[in-house]
A = this chain, B = another copy of it.
Amino acid sequence: MSEEIGALVEQIAKVEREEQATVPETLNEQLEHLDAEQQALLLEALPLEGRLQQWERIPEEERSDVLVELGADTRLTILKAQPFNALESLFSGFSPEDLIELSDDLPDEFIEIALRQMDQKQRQYFEDSNQFTEKQIGRYADHDLLILPQNAKVYDALRLLRRHIPECTDAIFLTDRAGRYAGTVPVQSTLSTPGHIPLTELTDEEAKPLAAETSLEDSVDLIEKSEYVLLPIVSEKGMLIGRMTLKDGLQILREEHEAEMMAQAGLSEDEDLFSPVLRSSVRRATWLGINLITAFLASWAIGLFEGTLQQVVALAVLMPIVASMGGIAGSQTLTLIIRGIALGQISRGNLGPLLIKELSVGGLNGVLWAGAIGLIASWWFADPMIGVVIGSAIAINILAAACSGVCIPVILDKLKIDPALSGSVILTTVTDVVGFVTFLGLGTLLLL
C-alpha cells in the first residue's frame, strides 16, 4: 500500500532527470489521488528542490491539511520558501486543533499569523489547549462532541443524533449551565428509551471522564479499557473541554513508537529523510559525543594493560569478542527488564528472584560460550592458556552483564530517567570495561 510513494518518487525523479517541462498526464492523475497523509509522505521523500516543486502541484485548498501531516523539519523547509502572502492564505485553513499540533515546532511568528486568521471562539480553543504541556491529553482535545444540557430529555438526544453524528462517537455528554461535565449517555440507551425520559436517568455511572492533565500514554490505556470509542476530557475545574477518540489513541501509539525508535539512535523525531545537512549534523554530533565518552572509558581500561598487550598480542586480537558477548547478553536482559518496568511489573518483591533467574540464564550461556570460544582461541593461537583466559573472561562478563541488565534500568527508573533511552549506552560501557579489565587482568596473571 505504502509502496506507491516510492514509485511516485521514482517517476518524479525521472521527470526531473529528463528535464521534462510538464508532468506526464498519468503521473499527474496519480498525484491528484493522494490524500493529505500520502502527500506529506511524498514531500518528505523528495530532496529539497523536488519537494518545493511538488508542493506547488498540490491544490491550494489541500495545502493546510498536508502541512499538518508533515514532519517538523520538512514543514519548516517548505514554510521558509513561501512568500509572506502565501503564508497568510495557508494559515487561514487551520483549525485550532491543527495549529496546536504545529505549534510545538513552529516559530512564534507563524503562530501569530495563524491566530490572526481565527475568530474569537477558535482563538479561545487554541489558548485553552495551549495551557497543557506536549505530554498531556488536554492539549490535543478535539471539539467535535455531542453535548446536551443536563436537563435534556431522550427526544432532545434523538433530534441531535438525527442531525449529525461526528466520526468516532457512541456517547452523548451532559453538562451543567456552567459547562461542567455532568455525565455520559450511551447512544444505544437513547434509542431504546421513551422520548420523555430525562437523560440523567440514562447516564452510565461506570463511565469516567479523562482528566486533561493525564499523560498521553495513560490516556491510551484508559480509552482502551473503557467501553466507549471516545472519552470526554475534563479540566481540573470539571469543565468539559473536548474529547479523545480511539483513533487518537492509534495515532499517539504510532508517534510514541516512532519517537522511541529515533531516540534510541540519538535522533530527533523531527528528523526527516532530507532534513538540512547542518541541522542533522549538529543534532547527531551530541549523541556521537556521549558515546565517545564511553568509548574513551573502554580505551582507558585497555590502557591499564599496555605492558601485557605488548607481550601477548593475541589478547589485543581477541578483545572485541569479550566485549561483544557481554554487550549482547546484557542487552537481552536489559530489554526484558525495560519491558517489565514499562508494564509496572518490577518491584522490590521480585527483584531478587529476577536477578537469580537472569544470573542462571547468564551462567548457562556463559559456560556454553566460554567453552566454545575457549576452544577456538586455544586452537587459533596454539596456546591452551589463551583459551582459559578468554573463556573465564567471557563467563565473568556474561554474569556481570546479567547483573547490570537487571540493575541499570531499575536504578535509572528510580532516578526518573527513561531506561529505554540511556540504558543501553550505560550497559555497554559497563560490559566493555568489565570485559576488558577481566580479560586483560586474567591475561596478566596467567600468561606473563
Q: Which residues in A have some Cβ–Cβ distance to B below 8 Å?
A: 1-7, 9-14, 35, 37, 41-42, 44-47, 158, 161-165, 167-170, 187-188, 191-192, 218, 220-222, 224-225, 227, 229, 246-247, 249-251, 253-254, 257-258, 261-262, 264-267, 271, 273-274, 277-278, 280-281, 284-285, 287-289, 291-292, 294-296, 298-299, 302-303, 306, 309-310, 313-314, 316-321, 323-325, 328-329, 331-332, 334-336, 339-340, 342-350, 353-354, 357, 360-361, 364-365, 368-369, 372-373, 376, 432
Contact = CB atoms under 8 A, between A and B. Distances in A.
Contact of A158 (B167, B191, B265, B345): B191
Among A162, A318, A339, find the residue whose CB has the most chain B CB atoms closer than 10 A. A339
Given A47-B350, A360-B277, A299 B320 contact: yes
Nearest to A48: B353
A281 B345 contact: no
A441 to B, nearest CB: 15
Contacts of A6: 344-347, 349
Contacts of A222: 1
Contacts of A277: 357, 360-361, 364
Chain A interface secondary structure, helix, strand, loop or mixed? helix
Complex copy number for this chain: 2
A149 to B, nearest CB: 21
A357 B47 CA distance: 9
A309 B316 contact: yes
Contact of A250 (B1, B41, B246, B317): B246
Among A249, A313, A331, find the residue whose CB has the most chain B CB atoms closer than 10 A. A313
Given A162-B191, A258-B339, A280 B361 contact: yes
Contacts of A317: 299, 302-303, 306, 309
A372 B262 CA distance: 26
A339 B158 contact: no
A319 B296 CA distance: 10
B340 A320 contact: no
A9 B347 contact: yes
Contact of A165 (B188, B298, B306, B350): B188
